[in-house]
């Protein structure tokens, strides 16, 4: 699940981008293999395991905080077109200037329900819809986990350019994926009460929980597709397994923004994925788009296992229905 979240700043009022477990699915449509991506989720519905996903970056808080995450996510198909995923993240927060204490703990548990609604092999197009639920109160408050649920209905899509004419054959390995979600907090605001140390009077501080548009996309160039469906250039086999890509992972508060503001935050993530028949390894840079998104370039990396290829008649088989064609990037390309 590309489960990236935009949260209120843990140490101040700035908004910090917190990438969690990233993408969780891969998909084959015609000759097109859509890999699991790290910044956003892709439209795939498969049995898969992302373990581990690790990242490190400085948040946009004032003062900034060094955040490191280790996460895992398991996706299980109920039917061939419907899957449920479960994810968790452990966060390490370390202050840069030591003026505030650090903190460690789990983020809230996440569950995503995803259904593939359309698939067109001829034009290498696929679309899915989903609902992600962040279960409030299952994580540690010290690392920013909210005490209330957040619900995010989302649309996912993927389009390969393999249907371009011969004149543009060099563009056929290109694919575009994207997602648009709307995060709805289960609570509109939280009011905290305290005592003013100077006057002894009761004080109240209200934080409004914004509704956030989570959106982004990827541009990919598939070397496996180039070799198998366009032209074999005789490149080393390692190169033929690479998919260079650039991701954009963005969040825009759009409602109930009195205390959060409306600035868009997020990262641009250039990177590369190496794909095999049963797993992939990916690494990307995390480049903040503005000061609110972070204060330096971070990184994210992931090992992703294709359970439906590893054990198509066991753990990789849908609960209802028979085993389906393994979704190997090379079996059908």
Tell me, what CATH number does 298's domain have?
Answer: 2.40.160.40
What pLDDT is attached to residue 158?
A: 97
**Residue 200 belongs to a domain:** no
Mean pLDDT on 5-29: 46
Domain range for 300 is: 4-189+206-310
Q: How many CA atoms lie within 13 A of 31 on its CB side?
A: 18
Mean pLDDT on 306-311: 92
Q: What is the pTM of this model?
A: 0.88
Contact indicator for 266, 212 with CB cutoff of 8 Å:
no
Number of continuous H segments (helices) and E segments (strands) in the chain: 2, 19
Contact indicator for 52, 23 with CB cutoff of 8 Å:
no
Distance CA 177, CA 191 (A): 39
**Residue 63 belongs to a domain:** yes
**Residue 197 belongs to a domain:** no
**Residue 123 belongs to a domain:** yes
Handedness of CA 308, 312, 316, 317 (dihedral sign): positive
**Residue 198 belongs to a domain:** no
Check whether 64 has a pLDDT greater than 50.
Answer: yes
Mean pLDDT on 265-274: 98
pLDDT class for 234, splitting at 50, 70, 90? very high
**Residue 81 belongs to a domain:** yes
Number of domains in the chain: 1
**Residue 329 belongs to a domain:** no
**Residue 201 belongs to a domain:** no
């Amino acid at each position: 699940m590309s489960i990236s979240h935009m949260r209120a700043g843990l140490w101040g009022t700035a908004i910090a981008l917190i990438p969690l477990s990233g993408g969780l699915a891969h998909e084959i449509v015609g000759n097109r293999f859509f890999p699991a991506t790290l910044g956003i989720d892709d439209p795939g519905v498969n049995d898969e395991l992302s373990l581990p996903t690790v990242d490190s970056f400085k948040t946009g808080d004032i003062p900034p905080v060094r955040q490191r995450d280790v996460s895992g996510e398991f996706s299980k198909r109920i039917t061939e077109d419907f899957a449920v995923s479960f994810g968790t993240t452990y966060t390490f927060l370390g202050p840069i200037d030591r003026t505030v204490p650090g903190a460690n703990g789990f983020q809230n548990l996440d569950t995503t329900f995803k259904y593939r609604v359309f698939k067109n092999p001829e034009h290498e197009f696929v679309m899915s819809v989903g609902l992600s639920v962040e279960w409030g109160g299952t994580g540690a408050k010290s690392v920013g986990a909210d005490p209330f649920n957040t619900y995010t209905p989302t649309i996912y899509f993927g389009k390969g350019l393999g249907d371009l004419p011969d004149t543009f054959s060099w563009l056929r390995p290109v694919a575009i994926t994207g997602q648009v979600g709307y995060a709805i907090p289960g609570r509109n605001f939280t009011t905290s009460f305290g005592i003013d140390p100077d006057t002894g009077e009761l004080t109240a501080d209200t934080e409004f929980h914004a509704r956030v548009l989570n959106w982004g996309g990827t541009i990919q160039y598939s070397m496996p597709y180039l070799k198998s469906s366009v032209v074999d250039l005789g490149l080393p086999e390692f190169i033929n397994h690479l998919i260079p890509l650039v991701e954009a992972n963005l969040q825009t508060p759009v409602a109930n923004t009195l205390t959060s503001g409306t600035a868009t935050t997020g990262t641009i993530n250039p990177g590369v994925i190496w794909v095999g028949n049963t797993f992939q390894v990916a690494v990307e840079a995390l480049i903040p788009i503005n000061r609110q998104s972070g204060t330096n370039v971070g990184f994210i990396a992931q090992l992703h296992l294709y359970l439906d290829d590893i054990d198509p008649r066991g753990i990789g088989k849908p609960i209802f229905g028979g085993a389906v064609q393994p979704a190997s990037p090379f079996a059908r390309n």
